[in-house]
Amino acid sequence: MRLAHIHYPDLTSFTRISHLQQTLTTRLLTHKKALSAANDTASPLPPPPDPTIITFTPHPVYTTGRRDLPPSNTSPRDTTAAATPSPSPSTSNESQSHTTLSLPPPLEQIRSLLIPPTPYPSSQDQPPGKAEYHPTLRGGQTTYHGPGQMVAYTILDLRRLGLTPRCHIRLLENSVIDVLASYGVRGLVTEDPGVWVQPPSSPSPLPSQYGNGDDTAAQQLPHKITAVGVHLRRNISSFGIGFNVTQEPMWWFRQIVACGLEGREATSLAGLGVQADIPAVAGRFVQAFVRRVNRDFAAQGGKGKGEGIEEVYSVSEEDLLRE
């Protein structure tokens, strides 16, 4: 099996990535439907589309998962493709967009920071100091993506890779932990979603039951370095992770209760004293992902029953959309 990797080196709109993700997901679902039809009629089987990992850094955006969807009749699936009117530079129109934007309770307190999604395609610049709001179908609650983050979306057929939904989450988490280890940082998973690290002041990991009412213990709670949230439809995955590389996202995280975890803090590689650039982190994540798939889930040379990944190739957006 070959794995396609597309990396966006510059800041890009979340709407643009959502459009590409939807295109790739639809292809995999269409192939599954054709596969079922071919099995019923003994027709030749069409070749499956290659799995794809998209790595990128979006302009500031708050997204909600299924647990925090707003009180609106608008389907989150439609927001990635619908031509939602972009905010006007005028103060009156911008104020109107704040008023009419349908938000879940966790984001009401920062309504003045938020603007609607830009339409696709659009080359309009996002106003400084503002973040788009996108409801999505991924699991989980409210989080932030933006400058200083490496976001990776994995568009895969889980069955082809021999993955269960739970194994898929663990694969993402363990791939992040491997990346952290390559920078000399110990990552861990807890009862809460995502990947966590001990803050620099913590001399040793805490026991699984966090805190006992002691202020010192509370300060030593693990800090979140990577959010994980996915969506599955007929075992086709979308969305993925948001990995904090620099401290830029920290101000935006402090404006919300990220992932519904009151009193928990976020951190980044830079916050741990590690200097890294986003393209390098993206490359290490893809490499770690492939190693984990081949070692833990591939039938040939691994411990599982799925197909292995024999090659990773770089691809452009133009090539992906043309296929």
197 annotated as belonging to a binding site for a ligand: no
313 annotated as belonging to a binding site for a ligand: no
**Contact at 8 Å (CB) between 86 and 126?**
no
98 annotated as belonging to a binding site for a ligand: no
Q: Which residues are catalytic?
A: 259
Residue 224 exposed, middle or buried by CB count within 10 Å (0-12, 13-18, 19+): buried
241 annotated as belonging to a binding site for a ligand: yes
145 annotated as belonging to a binding site for a ligand: yes
240 annotated as belonging to a binding site for a ligand: yes
Rounded CA gap, 83 and 265, in Å? 35
227 annotated as belonging to a binding site for a ligand: yes
Cis bond upstream, residue 121 (ω within 30)? yes
What phi, psi does 93 have (nearest 5°)?
Answer: -70, -35
**Contact at 8 Å (CB) between 223 and 261?**
no
Residue carrying structure tokens 């999505």: 136
302 annotated as belonging to a binding site for a ligand: no
186 annotated as belonging to a binding site for a ligand: no
298 annotated as belonging to a binding site for a ligand: no
Q: Which residues are annotated as a binding site for substrate?
A: 138-145, 227-229, 240-242
